[in-house]
Amino acid sequence: MPVLSVLIPTYNRRKCLKKALASLIYLGDGLEVIVGNNGEPEPVYLAIADAKIDFPVVHLQNPAGSTYPDNLRSLISRASGQWLTILHDDDFFTNESQIIPGLLADLDREDFVFSDHWIADSEGEILPQNTYLNSVKYGRAGLSPGPVQSLEYLAIKQCICLDCFFVRTELARACEIDTSLQCFADVLLLAQIASRSRGAMYLPDRLFAYRLSSAGLTSQGFLQDELLRVLLRIRRLVSTGSAKAALAERIRRQAYVVLKYSIKRRKLHSFVLSLKTLAGFPDQRKP
């Protein structure tokens, strides 16, 4: 059984996938690598050839019309490693990630590990200033290395990047992948992991690079709705007081975003959803 399964969801991005695959050299030997493909098969075969790697890659071709949550569920169900990580095809590991195989093999109590990361531009060039500002914005700059006290709180505060973390495979498999969602299945997955985790560790090392996107999916109004509904579902999972307070604030902020989009796009159901949400989550802060 391999220590780590690297799961790479992809969709017709040959150039990015090539860099992601080539970066796995930093993780050493004995990996299980599975590419879950929702697009055409040719870009995956060409990316594997272009990357000039000497380790096997399983190409999981999903049926036509498969969504990102479908892909995620298929990948996790196929993983056979003790741990798994989900590396999106436009991101890549850096040389700091060499510490991961040995670290995971020695962990007994923890079943979740996350780290800081680099920010890269669309061409894959590291952006140091953007990286620093991102670490500060999402609170990783203030985290102490080692065991963390409230994984739920950190997940809700978005300290954990959804694009790459390490989790025991059995824990990931115990969680639900909601295939009715369009793109926020990973948000719900992380919340479930956080609520069930026995112990977690933070590494300040920047183990991978996250590429900036020119336009986020949530720029579309209907996806703003979906994110709000996912956050409302997460309420049932959260148990700690600090996490509940952080989630209430995040829900409130997202409801205002949905309200703005509903007015702009004249979406009555979105307008009603946002008003009902705001009524249930009044701002308790003192003026």
The model's pLDDT over 9-38, given as tens digits with 9 standing for 90+, comes to 999 999 999 999 999 999 988 899 999 999
Count the Cβ atoms, other than its own, within 10 Å of residue 34: 22
**Does position 222 have pLDDT exceeding 90, yes or no?**
no
Whether pTM > 0.85 for this model: the answer is: yes
Count the Cβ atoms, other than its own, within 10 Å of residue 146: 10
Q: Are residues 180 and 221 in the same domain?
A: no
Has residue 8 been placed in a domain?
Answer: yes
Has residue 33 been placed in a domain?
Answer: yes
Number of domains making up the chain: 2
Q: Are residues 66 and 144 in the same domain?
A: yes
Q: Are residues 59 and 37 in the same domain?
A: yes
Nearest to 210 by CA among 149, 140, 154: 140
CATH of the domain at 104: 3.90.550.10
Q: What is the Cα 86 distance to its own chain's centre?
A: 7
**Does position 241 have pLDDT exceeding 90, yes or no?**
yes
pLDDT, position 285: 53
Summarize the confidence of residues 159-172 as an average pLDDT. 96
Q: Are residues 190 and 240 in the same domain?
A: no
Last residue of a domain, one of 211, 228, 250: 211
pLDDT, position 183: 83
pLDDT, position 256: 94
pLDDT, position 41: 95
Q: Are residues 276 and 195 in the same domain?
A: no
- Classify residue 158 by its DSSP letter: T
Task: Write out the two tokens for 194.
Answer: 């956080």
pLDDT, position 86: 97
**Does position 217 have pLDDT exceeding 70, yes or no?**
no
Phi then psi dihedrals of residue 212, to 5 deg = -70, 140
Has residue 55 been placed in a domain?
Answer: yes
pLDDT, position 267: 86
Summarize the confidence of residues 254-277 as an average pLDDT. 91
3-state class (DSSP) for residue 171? helix
Last residue of a domain, one of 193, 211, 229: 211
Confidence of residue 284 (pLDDT cuts 50, 70, 90): low
pLDDT, position 98: 96
- Map tokens 């409230």 to a residue: 150
Has residue 161 been placed in a domain?
Answer: yes
Whole domain around residue 156: which residue ranges?
Answer: 4-211
Summarize the confidence of residues 253-268 as an average pLDDT. 90
Task: Write out the two tokens for 223.
Answer: 């996806």
Q: Are residues 49 and 168 in the same domain?
A: yes
Has residue 275 been placed in a domain?
Answer: yes
Q: Are residues 182 and 267 in the same domain?
A: no
Has residue 285 been placed in a domain?
Answer: no
Q: Are residues 223 and 131 in the same domain?
A: no
Cross-strand bridge partners of residue 10: 37
pLDDT, position 236: 94
Q: Are residues 268 and 198 in the same domain?
A: no
Task: Write out the two tokens for 272.
Answer: 């009603």
Amino acid at 23: S
% of the chain with per-residue pLDDT over 70 = 95
Has residue 233 been placed in a domain?
Answer: yes
pLDDT, position 286: 43
Q: Are residues 165 and 188 in the same domain?
A: yes
Has residue 115 been placed in a domain?
Answer: yes
**Does position 175 have pLDDT exceeding 90, yes or no?**
yes
Confidence of residue 136 (pLDDT cuts 50, 70, 90): very high
Range 246-280 burial, b when 16+ CB lie within 10 A, else e: bbbbbbbebbebbbebbeeeebeebbebbeebbee
Q: Are residues 75 and 186 in the same domain?
A: yes
Q: Are residues 144 and 44 in the same domain?
A: yes
3-state class (DSSP) for residue 60? strand
> Taken in order 45, 46, 48, 53, is the CA torsion positive or negative?
positive
Task: Say if residue 85 is exposed, middle or buried (CB neighbours under 10 Å; 0-12, 13-18, 19+).
Answer: buried
Last residue of a domain, one of 188, 211, 234: 211
Task: Write out the two tokens for 244.
Answer: 């509940």
Q: What is the chain's mean pLDDT, rounded? A: 92
Per residue in 76-113, pLDDT tens?
999 999 999 999 999 999 999 999 999 999 999 999 99
Phi then psi dihedrals of residue 240, to 5 deg = -85, 150
pLDDT, position 223: 86
> Taken in order 238, 240, 243, 247, is the CA torsion positive or negative?
positive
* Cα–Cα distance, 7 to 240 (Å, whole number): 30
Q: Residues 63, 71: contact at Cβ < 8 Å?
A: no
**Does position 189 have pLDDT exceeding 70, yes or no?**
yes
Task: Write out the two tokens for 207.
Answer: 């183990």
Query: N- to C-terminal Cα distance for the chain?
Result: 57
